[in-house]
Amino acid sequence: MAELIQPRTLKGFRDYLPALMLPREHLLEQARRVYRSYGFAPIDTPALEYAEILRGKAGEESDKLIYQFTDHGGRDVALRFDLTVPFARFAAQYIGQLGTPFKRYHMGPVWRGENTGHGRYREFWQCDFDTIGTTSNAADIEAALVIHDLMRALGFERFEIRINNRLVLNGLLEQFGLANQVVPLLRALDKLPKIGAEAVMAEMAEKAGVTRAQAERILALAQTHGDNREILDRLQREFGDNPRAADGIARLRELVAVVHDAGVPDERIRLDLSIARGLDYYTGTIYETFLTDKPDIGSVCSGGRYDNLASLYTKQVLPGVGASLGLDRLLAAMEEMNLLPKAKTPAPVLIVQFAAEHLGAYQSMARRLRGEGIGVEVYPEAKKVGPQLKYAESRGFRIALIAGPDEFAQGMWQVKDLARREQINVLDSEVAAAVRKLLSTI
């Protein structure tokens, strides 16, 4: 007899049982609904790309995370590490058919060979939306609005969208005489929440050769506190003479004003000069979204403006802006916050198979309810009612329908509210209405 293979999952990967997949699919449905409401159209791209498409597009550190190999045809290929770089390739390839501006959303798995951590996996889903083909600040503002509406649609009221602008950061570094060290300095700054100020300053010194005084000045500015207006006014006073910084400040000022006029509560949009985003391709507005009650999980929806990424594949200028919902990180947060529903089934109704000879009647009722848009499962075996009700409660069904010979003789069904442990008897013709009414009150 062959030796049994131990069933196990790779480090950094996870299986999803129904208790997690059901809320995961719900989140995907809500994200899709929000994106479509803003006019974003769906696309898809392959999981595998030619390695040259992905390498060098997000920085040296990101290149180290790419799963890369030679396929059976001898081609150098790699698994996508995000959905933005493949979209840039996609846009360059099809923009003649799509026209500009083009708004897309894309949901799918990505892979990064990085160290696992709190809410971080090597395979995870991203839910992206992007507008490509315009440099208008209106697109950046709309991205902030989409993130806001997305978080609310996912069931959150306590969250904060932190916003910065790479133009401001680049302008500040120019003022400090560090224009040639922008990339390593911003990569180091992006690690501030994870490794702390001392470690960031050490990396700035090592990677960019800055003095401690210069590093302290950068961090002091990055950690500026105050409301949005106070931060903008300080930036204007100290760096408004720098054209690059002035452009970024004006864009941030307009964004804050417009989202306020659109009805977004002021406390949900916060300017944060320490937000840098580690990927090299960002050039303008950048976003990170944190749950007020679970900030340690990290940003659950991030992105920004990338005006030069598509230029790697085409001479046509295709500036873009967008963001990505980190679905699996958000699920991990919801799991820790006990926000996930307990149901292990997508159907709210179980029909108890009381007597095998009435299976046709059970299946007939199930089909009638499904025709009314109500999910139903018929228990597969004729057993005693007790074990079937125990099964229903363990799976999270909300209603059980029961009918035996006596009920069929009277044209009746028992409709049982499993949570309240209450039941009513209704006519066969009134079951759908009774179930719908009961579901609306649960």
Of the candidates 274, 304, 336, which is a domain's last residue? 336
| Predicted local confidence at residue 75, as pLDDT | 96
57 pLDDT exceeds 80?
Answer: no
Distance CA 285, CA 275 (A): 10
296 and 428 share a domain? no
Q: Is residue 7 part of a domain?
A: no
Q: Residue 104, Cβ neighbours under 10 Å: how many?
A: 22
127 and 267 share a domain? yes
197 pLDDT exceeds 70?
Answer: yes
Q: Is residue 283 part of a domain?
A: yes
277 pLDDT exceeds 80?
Answer: no
Q: Give 174's pLDDT tier (boundaries 50, 70, 90).
A: confident
Rounded to an integer, the average pLDDT of 363-376 is 97
Q: Residue 387, Cβ neighbours under 10 Å: how many?
A: 12
| Predicted local confidence at residue 190, as pLDDT | 79
Domains in the chain, number: 2
Contact 232, 164 (CB under 8 A): no
Contact 77, 68 (CB under 8 A): yes
Q: Give 282's pLDDT tier (boundaries 50, 70, 90).
A: confident
Contact 333, 291 (CB under 8 A): yes
| Predicted local confidence at residue 159, as pLDDT | 97
Of the candidates 336, 365, 382, which is a domain's last residue? 336
Q: Please tell me the chain's helix, strand, coil percentages from 3-state DSSP, rounded to the nearest 5.
A: 45, 20, 35
Rounded to an integer, the average pLDDT of 18-29 is 94
Provide the residue type at 238 as one letter.
E
| Predicted local confidence at residue 118, as pLDDT | 67
Q: Is 327 helix (H, G, I), strand (E, B) or coil?
A: helix
Percent of the chain with pLDDT over 70: 98
Q: Is 222 helix (H, G, I), strand (E, B) or coil?
A: helix
More confident residue, 151 or 282: 151
Q: Is residue 10 part of a domain?
A: no
Contact 96, 314 (CB under 8 A): no
Q: Give 36's pLDDT tier (boundaries 50, 70, 90).
A: very high
107 and 212 share a domain? yes
Percent of the chain with pLDDT over 90: 69
| Predicted local confidence at residue 273, as pLDDT | 87
147 and 240 share a domain? yes
User: 4's torsion region: left (phi>0), alpha (psi -120 to 50) or beta?
Assistant: beta
226 and 146 share a domain? yes
Q: Is residue 4 part of a domain?
A: no
Rounded to an integer, the average pLDDT of 179-188 is 78
Q: Is residue 170 part of a domain?
A: yes
32 and 144 share a domain? yes
252 pLDDT exceeds 70?
Answer: yes
Phi, psi of 68 (to 5 degrees): -130, 140
Rounded to an integer, the average pLDDT of 252-268 is 97
Distance CA 401, CA 94 (A): 53
| Predicted local confidence at residue 165, as pLDDT | 94
Mean of all residue pLDDT scores within the chain: 91
Phi, psi of 120 (to 5 degrees): -115, 130
Q: Is residue 62 part of a domain?
A: yes
Q: Residue 256, Cβ neighbours under 10 Å: how many?
A: 23
Contact 417, 423 (CB under 8 A): yes
Judged by average pLDDT, the poorest of 275-279, 391-395, 402-406, 430-434 is 275-279
pTM confidence score: 0.88
Where do we find the tokens 């595998």? 48
60 and 159 share a domain? yes
Rounded to an integer, the average pLDDT of 418-426 is 94
- Listed residue (408, 405, 401, 411) closest to 378, CA to CA: 401
Q: Is residue 164 part of a domain?
A: yes
Q: Which two tokens stand for residue 154?
A: 């996912």
Rounded to an integer, the average pLDDT of 276-296 is 88
Q: Give 76's pLDDT tier (boundaries 50, 70, 90).
A: very high
58 pLDDT exceeds 70?
Answer: no
Q: Give 50's pLDDT tier (boundaries 50, 70, 90).
A: very high
Rounded to an integer, the average pLDDT of 23-38 is 97
b/e sequence 304-316, b meaning 16+ C-beta within 10 Å: bbbbebbeebeee
66 pLDDT exceeds 80?
Answer: yes
364 and 251 share a domain? no
Q: Give 221's pLDDT tier (boundaries 50, 70, 90).
A: confident
Q: What CATH number did the domain enclosing 397 receive?
A: 3.40.50.800
Rounded to an integer, the average pLDDT of 313-329 is 91
Whether the ω angle into residue 101 lies within 30 degrees of 0, i.e. cis, is yes
More confident residue, 279 or 421: 421
Distance CA 54, CA 80 (A): 7
Of the candidates 293, 312, 336, which is a domain's last residue? 336
Where do we find the tokens 């697109």? 139
294 pLDDT exceeds 90?
Answer: yes
Q: Is 120 helix (H, G, I), strand (E, B) or coil?
A: strand
Phi, psi of 407 (to 5 degrees): -65, -40
Distance CA 360, CA 357 (A): 8
Spatial CB neighbours of 438, under 8 Å, sequence gap ≥ 6: 398, 399, 415, 417
More confident residue, 265 or 279: 265
278 pLDDT exceeds 70?
Answer: no
| Predicted local confidence at residue 119, as pLDDT | 66
Rounded to an integer, the average pLDDT of 201-216 is 83
Rounded to an integer, the average pLDDT of 74-99 is 93
| Enclosing domain of residue 53 | 18-336
Q: Give 315's pLDDT tier (boundaries 50, 70, 90).
A: confident
